[in-house]
Amino acid sequence: MIDCRSLRNLALVTLLLATVAGPVSADEADWYPSRYGADDRLGALNTLTAEGVIRASQLVTRGKTYALGGVTGAATPAYGHRNFSLVMYPHADEAIPPMGNMRATSNDDYLATWLGIGTQIDGFAHFGIDHRYYNGVSAAELFSPTGALVYGTHDIPPIVTRGVVLDMVKHFGVEAMLDAGVAINSPEIKAAAKAQGVTIGEGDVVILHTGWQALAATDPQRFMSGEPGLDVDGAEYLAGLGVAAVGADTWGLDAVPNPDPDLVFPSHSILLAKHGVHILENIQTAELIADGVDEFLFVLGVPRFEGAVQMVINPIAIR
């Protein structure tokens, strides 16, 4: 179960950091205001259009659906201290009489979980640069112990667009999965897309298949010890193409350990803070790859828990 005292202490420390944040440096100012305007709160989701939805829907030729979200439970590997606990509560079991003439029985459930566990979307309040978040929003403007005041994931609109999955396992010529720490940059992305005959465009959701997700069930300790993933050049390249979101079949998208030991999750800073591109983690890509799917209709409605900075999701691919 979650330690509420630790949560309160974390909230107090974070609030203190937010209120004592120093002046903005020249380096920080290089990445905001956003290309979409100083008051923008949507980031790269501005690229989603009705016309894009119609084009993406034309990719549906077989009517097959794919659940891109995995099952989240108590055994789900999770980053750091994150955990999951669900309690099923019976309203009428064998010790409690059924209700009414229909002898109705029912159950409820209580969920205590970190929302950054399992298949998830990272909101803009999740990751910043020196206490500044997308479009330069300061921690003092954003932080509240009861939820984000700005960029709560409840404000993420429905995402319906073209999805592209890049088979990086095939590109690197390995049998099942990339090794932890393997970095994916623009040359690898361009080569994989060319080999698959796809062109990444504005508003697309791009998902990297590394094979790493297979370890989540078979060797969770190794799964969480590192991961192949996106690096600085790759993140900047995809953001420059105007993609709406970037995801992978890994727990944290970034290459871990990073080739540069001084960098920690640089793709998170680049995509979320600098460019307003949402990140999708623990995406289930194996079935797409097995079916030879390169592009598809991507559909996601994010659960609207007010003030959340991350959210457990189950996006859908339709082909």
Beta bridge partners of 89: 108
pLDDT exceeds cutoff 60 at 47: yes
pLDDT tier at 163, thresholds 50, 70, 90: very high
pLDDT of residue 100: 87
- Can you give the length of the chain in residues? 319
pLDDT in tens, 256-280: 999 999 999 999 999 999 999 999 9
The answer to whether residue 95 is domain-embedded is: no
Decide if 120 contacts 245 (C-beta within 8 A): no
pLDDT of residue 95: 72
The count of domains in the chain is: 1
pLDDT of residue 105: 86
Q: Which of left, alpha, beta for 23 (phi over 0: left; psi -120 to 50: alpha)?
A: beta
pLDDT in tens, 75-92: 999 999 999 999 998 886
Higher-confidence position of 308 and 24: 308
- Find tokens 């500044």 and name the residue: 132
The answer to whether residue 301 is domain-embedded is: yes
The answer to whether residue 102 is domain-embedded is: no
The answer to whether residue 90 is domain-embedded is: no
The answer to whether residue 117 is domain-embedded is: yes
The answer to whether residue 281 is domain-embedded is: yes
CATH of the domain at 245: 3.50.30.50
pLDDT exceeds cutoff 90 at 3: no
Share of the chain above pLDDT 90, in %: 85
- What's this model's pTM, rounded to 2 decimal places? 0.91
Share of the chain above pLDDT 70, in %: 90
Average pLDDT, the chain: 92
Beta bridge partners of 316: 67, 299
The answer to whether residue 96 is domain-embedded is: no
pLDDT of residue 205: 98
Range of weakest confidence among 38-52, 90-104, 148-162, 220-234: 90-104
The answer to whether residue 21 is domain-embedded is: yes
pLDDT of residue 27: 52
Residue 10, phi then psi, degrees to nearest 5: -60, -40
| Helix 232-240 and helix 186-196, axial crossing angle in degrees, nearest 10 | 60
Host domain of residue 193: 4-80+113-318
